[in-house]
Structure 1
Amino acid sequence: MTLNEYIAEMLCTAGTLPFPTVTAAYSRKSVMTSIGQVERNIYFLKEGIIEIGMETEIGNKIIDFCFSNDLVSSYTSFLAQETSDVYLYCLTDCIVEIVPYAQLNEAYKTSLLANQFGRLATEGLYMKRVRKEKDALTKNAEQRYLELIKYRPEMIKEIPVHRIARYLGIHPESLSRLRKTIS
């Protein structure tokens, strides 16, 4: 069982969790967390695709995409309870299970299960970040694109080409040429 599957199982059996969760729906093009806002929740994405991005001097940079069964949050903002430097944007209609900061921290004081959830969430987000950083340092755009096709085929079908190009750090025209050479 993968980490995300284990966390999904924990959240789907909400009656066994030592903290409350709330199910919410966000429509396509909704902003779940804005830059400058303090993140008050971790979201477990039950359905949909969320883009995590930030503003830079040369425009918006897409940091990551999250899919069904992923945890998503402006995690550094959530942990420090400081303003977020990233946004969470719904590329599709999304259904999430919300884990509020205050209730989770209260549960940490008395529950081993809550602490296990927090540890697993942190480990999962850390491992995802490390893999992404290593890929950015050691792989070219073509290799990263081929991995997207292999491990996240839904990404190619559901996300506009210009957003995938921004995620890979290349121009949309370069991605179009790359796609033609691979086909």
Structure 2
Amino acid sequence: MSTFTEISKFFRTEYPLNQHGLEELFSLFKVGKHKKGSLLLQANTKEKQLRFLNKGIVREYYSNEGKEVNINFYVKPHFISDLLAFSQNSNTKRNQECLSSTEILSIERQPFLDLLEKYQCGRSFVDSSFQKLLKQKEMLEYNRITKNPDELYKELFIYRPEWLQSIPQYHIASYLNVTAETLSRIRKRIS
């Protein structure tokens, strides 16, 4: 399987460029391999790269006074950059850690923006990305406020079964904002 198979599918369906544009885009990506436990992004640093998770598992979390709260997991090929910080060239508030060995495709911010401008698809890429991001954030906030941990776990069971199969339970507990013991009781009730 080619290194660019998954990202190629993404661009062909979401943000079509002509063949020459795709080839030029892929020529700018660098392939990086990261070990389990590696930090890909640290809070209070600039998001300088657009990163695409090609293989592996990444957790995204906030950290405050030594306490970490998981906010997302990436287990399938997907863009994993903090798009708001990336587009605004600002510091991120997020952290990202590899939960397994990963393969990341990355491109520096300015060459990416230059290419999007060249092929006149930059505005649609940014606008569409933000719309999806805002929709996801709104749904997450709504769910976390209106649903109890049992209901949130049931949603993971239905919509994110790959999380439950590949992510350590203590990380899932943090995501649900419950203790590991509470998660164990929820799992017994729902199973």
State if a TM-score over 0.5 links the two structures.
yes
Which of residues 93, 97, 101 in structure 2 aligns to 1:93?
101
Q: Name structure 2 gaps, 5 residues minimum.
A: 1-6
CA-atom RMSD in angstroms: 2.5
1:3-152 equivalences in 2 (<5 Å): 7=10, 9=12, 16-17=21-22, 19=25, 20-57=28-65, 59-152=67-160
CA contact (8 A) 1:5 1:69 kept: no
Residue number in structure 2 paired with 1:180: 188
In structure 2, the CA distance between the partners of 1:15 and 1:179, relative to structure 1 (3 Å rule), is farther
SS at match of 1:23: strand
Q: Mean alpha-carbon deviation: is it higher for 169-178 or for 91-100?
A: 91-100
In structure 2, the CA distance between the partners of 1:131 and 1:8, relative to structure 1 (3 Å rule), is farther
> Where do 4+ consecutive residues of structure 1 move more than 6 Å?
none
CA contact (8 A) 1:31 1:89 kept: yes
Q: Quick one: percent identity of the two aligned structures?
A: 23
Q: TM-score if structure 2 supplies the norm length? A: 0.82
Q: Mean alpha-carbon deviation: is it higher for 96-105 or for 27-36?
A: 96-105
SS at match of 1:156: helix
In structure 2, the CA distance between the partners of 1:122 and 1:97, relative to structure 1 (3 Å rule), is farther
Q: TM-score if structure 1 supplies the norm length? A: 0.85
SS at match of 1:83: coil
Q: Mean alpha-carbon deviation: is it higher for 123-132 or for 142-151?
A: 123-132
Q: Name structure 1 gaps, 5 residues minimum.
A: none
Q: Mean alpha-carbon deviation: is it higher for 25-34 or for 79-88?
A: 79-88
CA contact (8 A) 1:52 1:89 kept: yes
How many residues end up aligned between the 2 structures? 179
- 1:85 Cα deviation after fit: 1.5
Cα distance in 2, alignment partners of residues 8 and 39 from structure 1:
21
